[in-house]
Amino acid sequence: MLTRRKTLKTLASGFGAALGSSLLPGIGQAAPSASGGPKRVIFFLQNQGFDPATAIPAGMKNSGSLARAVLPEPIQALEPFKERLHIINGLHGRHTSPSHSAFFGALGGYRGSDGVPPSGPTIDYELSKVLPETLLPHLCIGMDSIENMRAKPTVANLSASGAGQPIFMHSNPNHLYQMLYGSISEGEIRKQHEARSRMFERIGQMAAGGSRGLPVADQERYGQYVQDVNEINGLRDRLGEVSAHLRKFAPEVDDRYTNPEFETDWHDALLDLGVSALKSGITSVLTIGSGRGEIFGAWKGLGVEQQGHNLGHMPQPDNPIWVKIRQYNSRMLVKLMEELESVPEGSGTMMDHTLIVYTSNNGDYQHTNGATWPVMLLGNCGGIFKSGCFTQLDGTRPINALYTTLLRTAGVAAERFNMSESMAARFDSGRGPLREILA
- Taking only the tens place, the pLDDT of each residue in 100-121 is 899 999 999 999 999 899 999 9
Strand partners, 138: 285
Indicate if 238 and 343 belong to the same structural domain: no
pLDDT for 195 equals: 54
Mean pLDDT of the chain: 85
Residue after which a domain boundary falls, among 198, 224, 249:
249
- Poorest-confidence range of 171-180, 219-228, 278-287, 424-433? 219-228
Q: What is the DSSP letter of 438?
A: B
Cα dihedral value 53, 59, 65, 66, nearest 10: -60
Residue 338 lies in a domain: yes
- Tell me, what's the pLDDT at 13? 27
Q: How many CB atoms lie within 10 A of CB 266?
A: 24
Counted residue by residue, the chain has a size of 439
Claim to verify: residue 163 and residue 288 sit in the same structural domain? yes
Q: Has residue 387 got a pLDDT over 50?
A: yes
Neighbour count for residue 289 (Cβ, 10 Å): 27
Residue 367 lies in a domain: yes
Q: What is the mean pLDDT of residues 354-372?
A: 95
pLDDT value for 10: 30
Q: In which band, very low, low, confident or very high, does the pLDDT at 168 lie, cut at 50, 70 and 90?
A: very high
Rounded to whole angstroms, the Cα distance separating 45 from 28 reads: 28
Number of domains in the chain: 2
Residues 125 and 201 in one domain: no
Q: Which domain holds residue 353?
A: 23-176+250-437
d(C-alpha 371, C-alpha 390), whole Å: 19
227 and 313, same domain (yes or no): no
Considering only CA atoms, which of 119, 65, 168, 12 is closest in space to residue 388?
65
Between residues 281 and 233, the one the model is more confident about: 281
Residues 232 and 297 in one domain: no
DSSP 99: B
Measured CA to CA, the distance from residue 310 to residue 325 in angstroms comes to: 14
Per DSSP, the three-state class of 433 is coil
What's the N-to-C CA distance of the chain in angstroms? Answer: 27
- Here the CATH number for the domain that contains residue 274 is 3.40.720
Relative to beta strand 40-46, strand 85-92 is unpaired
* Range of lowest pLDDT (121-125, 130-134, 229-233): 229-233
3 within domain boundaries: no
**H-helix or E-strand spanning residue 256:** helix 255-258
pLDDT at 333: 98
* Nearest Cα residue to 324 out of 299, 292, 290, 356: 299
67/203 same-domain check = no
Amino acid at 227: Q
Write out pLDDT tens, residues 23-41: 344 333 334 444 468 999 9
pLDDT at 213: 56
pLDDT, one tens digit per residue, over 189-239 is: 656 655 555 555 555 555 565 555 556 555 555 455 445 544 555 676 777
Q: How far apart are CA 406 and CA 33, in angstroms?
A: 12
Give just the sign of the alpha carbon dihedral 152, 153, 159, 162: negative
pTM of the predicted protein model: 0.86
Who wins on pLDDT, 404 or 212?
A: 404
* pLDDT for residue 12 is more than 60: no
When mean pLDDT is compared across 14-18, 319-323, 388-392, 429-433, the lowest value belongs to 14-18
Q: Are residues 240 and 387 in the same domain?
A: no
Rounded CA-CA distance 28/25 in Å is 8
Least reliable range by pLDDT among 124-128, 211-215, 364-368: 211-215
In a domain, 355, yes or no: yes
Q: How far apart are CA 142 and CA 145, in angstroms?
A: 10
Give yes or no: residues 245 and 255 share one domain. no
Asked if residue 355 lies in contact with residue 85, where contact means CB atoms within 8 angstroms, the answer is no
pLDDT for res 1? 35
Are the beta carbons of 325 and 299 closer than 8 angstroms?
Answer: yes
Please give the average per-residue pLDDT across 85-108, as a whole number: 96
Helix axes 263-280, 320-341, angle to 10 degrees: 30
DSSP-H helix ranges across 66-145: 105-108, 123-130
Identify the residue with better confidence: 230 or 348: 348
**Confidence class of residue 298 from pLDDT cuts 50, 70 and 90?**
very high
Contact assessment for residue 40 and residue 354, using Cβ atoms and an 8 Å cutoff: yes
d(CA 161, CA 127): 11
Residues 256, 297, single domain; the answer is yes
**Cα–Cα distances in Å, from 44 out to 86, 125, 293?**
15, 14, 11
C-beta of residue 93 within 8 angstroms of C-beta of residue 399: yes
